[in-house]
Amino acid sequence: MNLVLQCPECGYQYDEAKGDKNEGVAPGTPWKSLPEDYACPSCSVRTRDDFEPVADTETPPAN
Amino acid sequence: MNHSAVAATTSHFRDRKRYAWLVSLLIPVILGSGAFLLMVTGDMRAVWLPVIFIYVGVPLLDMVLGEDQTNPPESAVPQLEADTYYRYITYAAVPVLWISFIASVWFLSTHDLPWHAQLALVLSCGLTGGLGINLGHELGHKNTALERWLAKIILAPTAYGHFFIEHNRGHHRDVATPIDPASSRMGETIYTFVFREMPGALRRAWHIETERLGRCNQPVWSLRNEILQPALITLTLWAVLLVWLGWVALPYILIVSFWANFQLTLANYIEHYGLLRQEKSPGRYELCQPHHSWNSNHVFSNWALFHLQRHSDHHAHPTRRYQSLRHFEKAPQLPNGYLGMYIVCMLPPLWFWMMDKRLIQNVDGDANRIHFQPGKRNTLIRKYGLCTGEGATA
Protein backbone atom coordinates (compact mmCIF):
# COMPACT_ATOMS: atom_id res chain seq x y z
CA MET A 1 0.00 0.00 0.00
CA ASN A 2 1.37 3.38 -0.99
CA LEU A 3 0.03 6.62 0.42
CA VAL A 4 0.04 10.07 -1.14
CA LEU A 5 -0.60 12.78 1.42
CA GLN A 6 -1.26 16.48 1.05
CA CYS A 7 -0.65 19.51 3.23
CA PRO A 8 -4.10 21.01 3.94
CA GLU A 9 -2.57 24.47 3.93
CA CYS A 10 -0.46 24.78 0.79
CA GLY A 11 -1.17 21.65 -1.24
CA TYR A 12 2.36 20.18 -1.05
CA GLN A 13 2.09 16.46 -1.74
CA TYR A 14 4.21 13.65 -0.33
CA ASP A 15 4.21 10.40 -2.29
CA GLU A 16 5.56 7.58 -0.15
CA ALA A 17 6.83 5.79 -3.27
CA LYS A 18 8.94 8.79 -4.26
CA GLY A 19 9.94 10.23 -0.89
CA ASP A 20 11.36 13.76 -1.04
CA LYS A 21 14.89 13.99 -2.39
CA ASN A 22 15.39 17.64 -1.46
CA GLU A 23 14.47 16.89 2.15
CA GLY A 24 16.57 13.73 2.27
CA VAL A 25 13.57 11.44 2.66
CA ALA A 26 14.26 8.19 0.79
CA PRO A 27 11.75 6.64 -1.65
CA GLY A 28 9.52 4.16 0.15
CA THR A 29 9.60 6.02 3.48
CA PRO A 30 6.17 5.76 5.16
CA TRP A 31 4.78 9.18 6.13
CA LYS A 32 4.07 7.96 9.66
CA SER A 33 7.72 7.05 10.17
CA LEU A 34 8.72 10.71 9.90
CA PRO A 35 9.00 12.64 13.20
CA GLU A 36 5.72 13.91 14.65
CA ASP A 37 6.96 17.50 14.42
CA TYR A 38 8.07 17.14 10.77
CA ALA A 39 6.87 20.39 9.22
CA CYS A 40 5.55 20.79 5.69
CA PRO A 41 8.67 21.50 3.57
CA SER A 42 6.71 24.05 1.56
CA CYS A 43 4.86 26.22 4.10
CA SER A 44 6.12 25.07 7.55
CA VAL A 45 2.64 25.79 8.92
CA ARG A 46 1.33 22.22 9.22
CA THR A 47 3.07 19.19 10.70
CA ARG A 48 2.95 15.45 10.00
CA ASP A 49 -0.40 14.57 11.57
CA ASP A 50 -2.22 17.42 9.82
CA PHE A 51 -1.58 15.89 6.39
CA GLU A 52 -4.53 14.30 4.61
CA PRO A 53 -4.36 11.27 2.31
CA VAL A 54 -5.26 12.06 -1.30
CA ALA A 55 -4.55 8.61 -2.73
CA ASP A 56 -4.16 5.13 -1.36
CA THR A 57 -2.86 2.71 -3.95
CA GLU A 58 -1.59 -0.83 -4.05
CA THR A 59 1.40 0.28 -6.12
CA PRO A 60 4.56 -0.99 -4.49
CA PRO A 61 7.22 1.62 -3.71
CA ALA A 62 9.62 2.26 -6.57
CA ASN A 63 13.11 0.90 -6.14
CA MET B 1 -31.26 40.13 -11.35
CA ASN B 2 -29.54 40.40 -8.04
CA HIS B 3 -28.01 36.96 -8.57
CA SER B 4 -26.69 38.03 -11.97
CA ALA B 5 -25.27 41.16 -10.48
CA VAL B 6 -23.41 39.16 -7.83
CA ALA B 7 -22.10 36.69 -10.41
CA ALA B 8 -20.94 39.53 -12.62
CA THR B 9 -19.14 41.14 -9.68
CA THR B 10 -17.25 37.94 -9.02
CA SER B 11 -16.48 36.89 -12.56
CA HIS B 12 -15.45 40.40 -13.64
CA PHE B 13 -13.50 41.27 -10.52
CA ARG B 14 -11.16 44.16 -11.20
CA ASP B 15 -8.26 44.59 -8.81
CA ARG B 16 -8.27 48.27 -7.85
CA LYS B 17 -4.70 47.92 -6.57
CA ARG B 18 -3.41 46.37 -9.81
CA TYR B 19 -1.35 49.38 -10.92
CA ALA B 20 -0.71 50.64 -7.40
CA TRP B 21 1.81 47.82 -6.93
CA LEU B 22 4.10 49.73 -9.31
CA VAL B 23 4.79 51.98 -6.30
CA SER B 24 7.06 49.16 -5.10
CA LEU B 25 9.32 49.95 -8.09
CA LEU B 26 9.08 53.70 -7.57
CA ILE B 27 10.26 53.69 -3.94
CA PRO B 28 13.80 52.39 -4.68
CA VAL B 29 14.07 54.97 -7.49
CA ILE B 30 13.12 57.73 -5.00
CA LEU B 31 15.62 56.33 -2.49
CA GLY B 32 18.35 56.31 -5.13
CA SER B 33 17.62 59.88 -6.25
CA GLY B 34 19.65 61.56 -3.49
CA ALA B 35 22.92 61.51 -5.42
CA PHE B 36 21.16 62.74 -8.56
CA LEU B 37 19.53 65.62 -6.65
CA LEU B 38 22.93 66.55 -5.23
CA MET B 39 24.53 66.66 -8.67
CA VAL B 40 21.68 68.72 -10.11
CA THR B 41 21.29 71.22 -7.28
CA GLY B 42 24.77 71.20 -5.76
CA ASP B 43 23.04 71.46 -2.38
CA MET B 44 24.23 68.88 0.16
CA ARG B 45 20.87 69.03 1.96
CA ALA B 46 19.19 67.53 -1.11
CA VAL B 47 20.52 64.06 -0.28
CA TRP B 48 18.29 64.01 2.81
CA LEU B 49 15.09 64.36 0.79
CA PRO B 50 14.69 60.61 0.06
CA VAL B 51 15.29 59.75 3.75
CA ILE B 52 12.77 62.36 4.84
CA PHE B 53 10.31 61.02 2.29
CA ILE B 54 10.53 57.50 3.76
CA TYR B 55 10.50 58.37 7.45
CA VAL B 56 8.14 61.37 7.36
CA GLY B 57 6.44 61.36 3.96
CA VAL B 58 5.33 57.73 3.91
CA PRO B 59 3.81 57.77 7.45
CA LEU B 60 2.03 61.01 6.50
CA LEU B 61 0.78 59.49 3.24
CA ASP B 62 -0.48 56.53 5.25
CA MET B 63 -2.37 58.91 7.53
CA VAL B 64 -3.79 60.93 4.65
CA LEU B 65 -4.64 58.08 2.26
CA GLY B 66 -5.85 55.93 5.13
CA GLU B 67 -6.70 52.25 5.20
CA ASP B 68 -8.20 49.77 2.79
CA GLN B 69 -9.94 46.78 4.34
CA THR B 70 -11.35 45.31 1.15
CA ASN B 71 -10.51 41.77 0.07
CA PRO B 72 -10.75 40.15 -3.33
CA PRO B 73 -13.63 37.68 -3.55
CA GLU B 74 -12.33 34.16 -2.83
CA SER B 75 -13.61 33.01 -6.23
CA ALA B 76 -11.28 35.52 -7.92
CA VAL B 77 -8.17 34.41 -6.02
CA PRO B 78 -7.09 31.55 -8.36
CA GLN B 79 -7.21 33.96 -11.31
CA LEU B 80 -5.41 36.63 -9.30
CA GLU B 81 -2.68 34.19 -8.26
CA ALA B 82 -2.22 32.92 -11.82
CA ASP B 83 -1.97 36.42 -13.34
CA THR B 84 1.72 36.74 -14.23
CA TYR B 85 1.56 40.56 -14.26
CA TYR B 86 1.98 40.58 -10.48
CA ARG B 87 5.00 38.29 -10.68
CA TYR B 88 6.66 40.44 -13.33
CA ILE B 89 6.62 43.38 -10.92
CA THR B 90 8.61 41.34 -8.39
CA TYR B 91 10.97 40.13 -11.11
CA ALA B 92 11.52 43.71 -12.33
CA ALA B 93 12.31 44.91 -8.81
CA VAL B 94 15.35 42.60 -8.58
CA PRO B 95 17.59 44.47 -11.08
CA VAL B 96 16.24 47.84 -9.89
CA LEU B 97 17.37 47.08 -6.33
CA TRP B 98 20.71 45.60 -7.41
CA ILE B 99 21.52 48.62 -9.58
CA SER B 100 20.50 50.97 -6.78
CA PHE B 101 22.81 49.18 -4.31
CA ILE B 102 25.80 49.19 -6.67
CA ALA B 103 25.26 52.79 -7.78
CA SER B 104 25.02 54.01 -4.18
CA VAL B 105 28.22 52.24 -3.11
CA TRP B 106 29.96 53.63 -6.20
CA PHE B 107 28.79 57.19 -5.49
CA LEU B 108 29.77 57.03 -1.81
CA SER B 109 33.20 55.60 -2.65
CA THR B 110 34.07 58.06 -5.40
CA HIS B 111 32.83 61.41 -4.07
CA ASP B 112 34.29 63.55 -1.35
CA LEU B 113 31.24 64.25 0.79
CA PRO B 114 30.73 65.74 4.27
CA TRP B 115 29.72 63.24 6.95
CA HIS B 116 26.06 64.30 6.98
CA ALA B 117 25.69 63.70 3.25
CA GLN B 118 27.39 60.32 3.60
CA LEU B 119 25.01 59.47 6.43
CA ALA B 120 21.97 60.34 4.33
CA LEU B 121 23.19 58.25 1.41
CA VAL B 122 24.04 55.29 3.66
CA LEU B 123 20.57 55.44 5.24
CA SER B 124 18.91 55.66 1.80
CA CYS B 125 20.91 52.76 0.45
CA GLY B 126 20.26 50.70 3.59
CA LEU B 127 16.54 51.34 3.20
CA THR B 128 16.79 50.13 -0.39
CA GLY B 129 18.52 47.01 0.91
CA GLY B 130 15.63 46.61 3.36
CA LEU B 131 13.25 46.68 0.39
CA GLY B 132 15.43 43.94 -1.10
CA ILE B 133 14.88 41.75 1.97
CA ASN B 134 11.16 42.44 1.73
CA LEU B 135 11.22 41.38 -1.91
CA GLY B 136 13.29 38.31 -1.01
CA HIS B 137 10.61 37.50 1.56
CA GLU B 138 7.83 37.60 -1.04
CA LEU B 139 9.81 35.59 -3.60
CA GLY B 140 11.27 33.10 -1.13
CA HIS B 141 7.86 31.81 -0.10
CA LYS B 142 6.98 30.72 -3.60
CA ASN B 143 7.42 27.24 -5.00
CA THR B 144 8.82 28.01 -8.44
CA ALA B 145 12.55 27.50 -8.94
CA LEU B 146 12.86 30.93 -10.59
CA GLU B 147 11.31 32.80 -7.69
CA ARG B 148 13.32 30.90 -5.10
CA TRP B 149 16.55 31.71 -6.96
CA LEU B 150 15.56 35.36 -7.36
CA ALA B 151 15.00 35.43 -3.58
CA LYS B 152 18.57 34.25 -2.98
CA ILE B 153 19.88 36.77 -5.53
CA ILE B 154 18.07 39.75 -4.01
CA LEU B 155 19.09 38.84 -0.45
CA ALA B 156 22.75 38.61 -1.46
CA PRO B 157 23.89 42.28 -1.74
CA THR B 158 23.42 42.88 2.00
CA ALA B 159 24.63 39.39 3.02
CA TYR B 160 21.30 38.15 4.34
CA GLY B 161 20.85 35.02 2.22
CA HIS B 162 20.28 32.83 5.29
CA PHE B 163 16.94 34.62 5.72
CA PHE B 164 15.61 32.42 2.92
CA ILE B 165 15.96 29.37 5.21
CA GLU B 166 15.54 31.06 8.57
CA HIS B 167 12.28 32.78 7.81
CA ASN B 168 10.43 30.07 5.89
CA ARG B 169 11.42 27.09 7.97
CA GLY B 170 12.29 28.67 11.31
CA HIS B 171 10.24 31.78 11.96
CA HIS B 172 7.07 30.43 10.36
CA ARG B 173 7.31 27.28 12.48
CA ASP B 174 8.16 29.00 15.78
CA VAL B 175 6.44 32.39 15.39
CA ALA B 176 4.94 33.95 18.54
CA THR B 177 6.52 31.34 20.81
CA PRO B 178 9.31 31.80 23.39
CA ILE B 179 11.76 29.88 21.20
CA ASP B 180 11.48 32.28 18.25
CA PRO B 181 14.32 34.82 18.10
CA ALA B 182 12.31 36.74 15.48
CA SER B 183 9.24 37.41 17.67
CA SER B 184 9.52 40.29 20.12
CA ARG B 185 8.24 40.24 23.69
CA MET B 186 6.22 42.71 25.73
CA GLY B 187 8.65 44.98 27.56
CA GLU B 188 11.53 44.18 25.20
CA THR B 189 13.07 47.18 23.44
CA ILE B 190 14.24 47.07 19.83
CA TYR B 191 17.79 47.58 21.11
CA THR B 192 17.60 44.41 23.23
CA PHE B 193 15.73 42.52 20.53
CA VAL B 194 18.36 43.12 17.83
CA PHE B 195 20.99 41.24 19.86
CA ARG B 196 18.64 38.25 20.15
CA GLU B 197 17.20 38.42 16.63
CA MET B 198 20.25 38.80 14.39
CA PRO B 199 22.50 36.06 15.86
CA GLY B 200 19.48 33.86 16.71
CA ALA B 201 18.29 33.95 13.10
CA LEU B 202 21.70 32.96 11.75
CA ARG B 203 22.09 30.12 14.28
CA ARG B 204 18.61 28.74 13.56
CA ALA B 205 19.09 28.94 9.78
CA TRP B 206 22.40 27.09 10.01
CA HIS B 207 20.92 24.43 12.29
CA ILE B 208 17.93 23.83 9.97
CA GLU B 209 20.10 23.62 6.86
CA THR B 210 22.66 21.37 8.55
CA GLU B 211 19.88 18.98 9.54
CA ARG B 212 18.46 18.90 6.01
CA LEU B 213 21.87 18.28 4.43
CA GLY B 214 22.50 15.55 7.00
CA ARG B 215 19.30 13.77 5.94
CA CYS B 216 20.46 14.12 2.31
CA ASN B 217 23.89 12.64 3.20
CA GLN B 218 25.49 15.82 1.89
CA PRO B 219 28.38 17.69 3.50
CA VAL B 220 27.49 21.02 5.11
CA TRP B 221 30.20 22.79 3.11
CA SER B 222 28.75 22.05 -0.32
CA LEU B 223 27.03 23.90 -3.13
CA ARG B 224 23.76 22.25 -2.12
CA ASN B 225 23.82 24.34 1.06
CA GLU B 226 21.14 26.99 0.45
CA ILE B 227 22.81 29.38 2.88
CA LEU B 228 26.17 29.12 1.14
CA GLN B 229 24.61 29.62 -2.31
CA PRO B 230 23.55 33.26 -1.69
CA ALA B 231 26.68 33.79 0.46
CA LEU B 232 28.81 33.03 -2.59
CA ILE B 233 26.86 35.62 -4.58
CA THR B 234 27.51 38.10 -1.76
CA LEU B 235 31.23 37.38 -1.72
CA THR B 236 31.47 37.67 -5.50
CA LEU B 237 29.58 40.99 -5.58
CA TRP B 238 31.55 42.47 -2.70
CA ALA B 239 34.86 41.29 -4.21
CA VAL B 240 34.02 42.92 -7.55
CA LEU B 241 33.07 46.17 -5.80
CA LEU B 242 36.32 46.17 -3.79
CA VAL B 243 38.49 45.44 -6.85
CA TRP B 244 36.66 48.16 -8.79
CA LEU B 245 36.36 50.86 -6.10
CA GLY B 246 39.11 49.93 -3.65
CA TRP B 247 39.01 49.32 0.11
CA VAL B 248 37.28 52.66 0.59
CA ALA B 249 34.05 50.90 -0.42
CA LEU B 250 34.21 48.32 2.39
CA PRO B 251 32.91 50.43 5.31
CA TYR B 252 30.07 51.68 3.12
CA ILE B 253 29.12 48.14 2.09
CA LEU B 254 29.19 46.95 5.71
CA ILE B 255 27.24 49.87 7.18
CA VAL B 256 24.67 49.85 4.39
CA SER B 257 24.23 46.09 4.84
CA PHE B 258 23.75 46.47 8.57
CA TRP B 259 21.14 49.18 8.10
CA ALA B 260 19.35 47.07 5.49
CA ASN B 261 19.31 44.05 7.78
CA PHE B 262 18.17 46.21 10.68
CA GLN B 263 15.08 47.11 8.64
CA LEU B 264 14.17 43.43 8.83
CA THR B 265 14.84 43.46 12.58
CA LEU B 266 12.42 46.40 12.88
CA ALA B 267 9.79 44.51 10.88
CA ASN B 268 10.22 41.38 12.99
CA TYR B 269 9.97 43.49 16.14
CA ILE B 270 6.63 45.04 15.28
CA GLU B 271 5.00 42.08 13.52
CA HIS B 272 4.37 39.91 16.59
CA TYR B 273 5.10 42.18 19.58
CA GLY B 274 3.93 40.48 22.77
CA LEU B 275 1.61 38.00 21.03
CA LEU B 276 1.78 34.37 22.17
CA ARG B 277 0.60 31.05 20.77
CA GLN B 278 -0.61 28.66 23.45
CA GLU B 279 1.45 25.56 24.22
CA LYS B 280 -0.80 22.51 23.76
CA SER B 281 1.76 19.97 25.00
CA PRO B 282 5.45 20.38 25.81
CA GLY B 283 7.08 21.93 22.73
CA ARG B 284 3.87 21.78 20.64
CA TYR B 285 1.97 24.99 20.00
CA GLU B 286 -1.46 25.82 18.62
CA LEU B 287 -1.57 26.72 14.92
CA CYS B 288 -0.66 30.31 14.15
CA GLN B 289 -3.94 32.26 14.13
CA PRO B 290 -4.81 35.73 12.78
CA HIS B 291 -4.57 37.16 16.31
CA HIS B 292 -0.87 36.23 16.49
CA SER B 293 0.34 39.00 14.12
CA TRP B 294 0.11 42.79 13.98
CA ASN B 295 -1.37 44.17 10.77
CA SER B 296 -1.77 47.43 8.96
CA ASN B 297 -4.17 48.19 6.12
CA HIS B 298 -2.58 51.57 5.38
CA VAL B 299 -2.56 51.69 1.63
CA PHE B 300 0.64 53.49 0.71
CA SER B 301 3.07 51.42 2.78
CA ASN B 302 1.26 48.26 1.66
CA TRP B 303 1.85 49.21 -1.97
CA ALA B 304 5.51 49.81 -1.16
CA LEU B 305 5.93 46.54 0.77
CA PHE B 306 3.96 44.00 -1.29
CA HIS B 307 1.17 43.69 1.33
CA LEU B 308 3.65 42.54 3.98
CA GLN B 309 1.47 44.34 6.49
CA ARG B 310 -1.43 41.95 5.96
CA HIS B 311 0.68 39.76 8.12
CA SER B 312 -1.95 37.55 9.73
CA ASP B 313 -3.04 36.12 6.41
CA HIS B 314 0.60 35.74 5.40
CA HIS B 315 1.33 33.57 8.45
CA ALA B 316 -1.85 31.56 8.03
CA HIS B 317 -1.16 31.06 4.31
CA PRO B 318 2.54 31.71 3.60
CA THR B 319 2.47 30.63 -0.04
CA ARG B 320 -0.41 33.01 -0.92
CA ARG B 321 0.82 35.73 -3.28
CA TYR B 322 0.92 39.36 -2.19
CA GLN B 323 -1.94 40.49 -4.40
CA SER B 324 -4.31 37.99 -2.75
CA LEU B 325 -3.55 38.62 0.94
CA ARG B 326 -6.60 39.48 3.00
CA HIS B 327 -7.62 41.70 5.87
CA PHE B 328 -9.11 39.88 8.87
CA GLU B 329 -11.68 41.69 10.97
CA LYS B 330 -10.35 40.47 14.32
CA ALA B 331 -6.63 40.66 13.56
CA PRO B 332 -4.59 43.08 15.71
CA GLN B 333 -4.13 46.42 13.93
CA LEU B 334 -1.30 48.93 14.16
CA PRO B 335 -2.05 52.67 14.29
CA ASN B 336 0.15 53.41 11.24
CA GLY B 337 1.97 51.51 8.50
CA TYR B 338 5.14 49.58 9.23
CA LEU B 339 7.43 52.47 8.20
CA GLY B 340 5.70 54.83 10.62
CA MET B 341 5.90 52.19 13.35
CA TYR B 342 9.63 51.71 12.65
CA ILE B 343 10.16 55.27 13.87
CA VAL B 344 7.96 54.67 16.89
CA CYS B 345 9.74 51.48 17.96
CA MET B 346 13.14 53.18 17.78
CA LEU B 347 11.81 55.36 20.64
CA PRO B 348 10.99 52.63 23.22
CA PRO B 349 8.96 54.74 25.72
CA LEU B 350 6.74 55.95 22.86
CA TRP B 351 6.41 52.40 21.53
CA PHE B 352 5.39 50.98 24.93
CA TRP B 353 2.95 53.85 25.45
CA MET B 354 1.31 53.28 22.05
CA MET B 355 1.44 49.50 21.87
CA ASP B 356 1.11 48.00 25.35
CA LYS B 357 -2.50 49.14 25.70
CA ARG B 358 -3.29 47.80 22.21
CA LEU B 359 -1.66 44.48 23.05
CA ILE B 360 -3.63 44.17 26.29
CA GLN B 361 -6.85 45.01 24.47
CA ASN B 362 -6.17 42.36 21.84
CA VAL B 363 -5.61 39.61 24.43
CA ASP B 364 -8.55 40.77 26.58
CA GLY B 365 -6.20 41.55 29.45
CA ASP B 366 -5.18 37.89 29.78
CA ALA B 367 -1.53 37.68 30.87
CA ASN B 368 -1.40 34.04 29.74
CA ARG B 369 -1.81 35.21 26.15
CA ILE B 370 1.08 37.66 26.36
CA HIS B 371 4.65 36.92 25.38
CA PHE B 372 6.58 38.70 28.14
CA GLN B 373 10.21 39.71 28.27
CA PRO B 374 11.66 37.47 31.01
CA GLY B 375 12.13 39.48 34.18
CA LYS B 376 9.42 41.99 33.28
CA ARG B 377 6.37 39.72 33.55
CA ASN B 378 5.44 40.46 37.16
CA THR B 379 6.14 44.18 36.86
CA LEU B 380 3.95 44.49 33.75
CA ILE B 381 1.15 42.36 35.24
CA ARG B 382 1.08 44.64 38.30
CA LYS B 383 1.41 47.84 36.26
CA TYR B 384 -1.55 47.03 34.00
CA GLY B 385 -3.57 44.91 36.47
CA LEU B 386 -3.59 41.94 34.10
CA CYS B 387 -5.56 38.76 34.69
CA THR B 388 -3.30 35.76 35.37
CA GLY B 389 -6.02 33.10 35.63
CA GLU B 390 -7.12 30.89 38.49
CA GLY B 391 -4.28 29.61 40.64
CA ALA B 392 -1.72 31.73 38.86
CA THR B 393 0.29 34.23 40.77
CA ALA B 394 1.62 37.54 39.75
Q: What is the pLDDT of residues B165-182, one digit of tens each?
A: 999 999 999 999 999 999
| Closest Cα in chain B, distance from residue A45 (Å) | 6
Q: What is the mean pLDDT of residues B226-241?
A: 98
Please check whether residue A44 lies inside any domain of the structure: yes
The ipTM, to two decimals, is: 0.84
- Chain B residues whose CB is inside 8 A of the A45 CB are 172, 287-288, 315-318
Please check whether residue A59 lies inside any domain of the structure: no
CB-nearest partner of A44 from B173, B212, B216 = B173
What is the pTM for the complete model shown? Answer: 0.92
- Least confident range from A45-59, B198-212, B283-297, B351-365: namely A45-59
Q: Give the mean model confidence (pLDDT) for residues B219-236.
A: 97
Report pLDDT for B6. Answer: 39
Interface residue of B216, B281, B286 to substitute, partner A, most A CBs within 10 Å: B216
CB-CB neighbours of B275 under 10 Å:
25
Look over chain B and give the mean of its residue pLDDT values, rounded to a whole number.
94
The amino acid occupying position B383 is K
A46 found inside a domain: yes
Whether A30 maps to a domain, the answer reads yes
Q: Residue B125: name the closest of B304, B22, B253 by CA.
A: B253
DSSP H or E run through B260: helix B249-271
Tell whether A21 is covered by a domain. yes
Number of domains in chain A: 1
Burial state string for B71-99 with b = 16 or more CB within 10 A and e = fewer than 16: ebeeebbeebeeeeebbebbeebbebbbe
Among A22, A29, A43, the residue to mutate for chain B (most B Cβ within 10 A): A43
Does residue A61 form part of some domain? no
* Residue B8 in this model has a pLDDT that exceeds 50: no
Residue A31 has pLDDT above 70, yes or no: yes
| Yes or no, beta carbons of B319 and A25 under 8 Å apart | no
A52, amino acid identity: E
Q: Which residues in A have their CB inside 8 Å of a CB on B?
A: 9-10, 12, 21-25, 37, 39, 41-46
pLDDT at B272 over 50: yes
Task: For residue A29, give the CATH number of its domain.
Answer: 2.20.28.10
Task: Classify residue A62: in a domain, yes or no.
Answer: no
Domain that holds residue A22: 2-53
Judge whether A58 lies within some domain. no
pLDDT value for B390? 56
B288·A21 Cβ contact <8 A? no
How far apart, in whole angstroms, are the C-alpha atoms of residue A6 and residue A1?
17
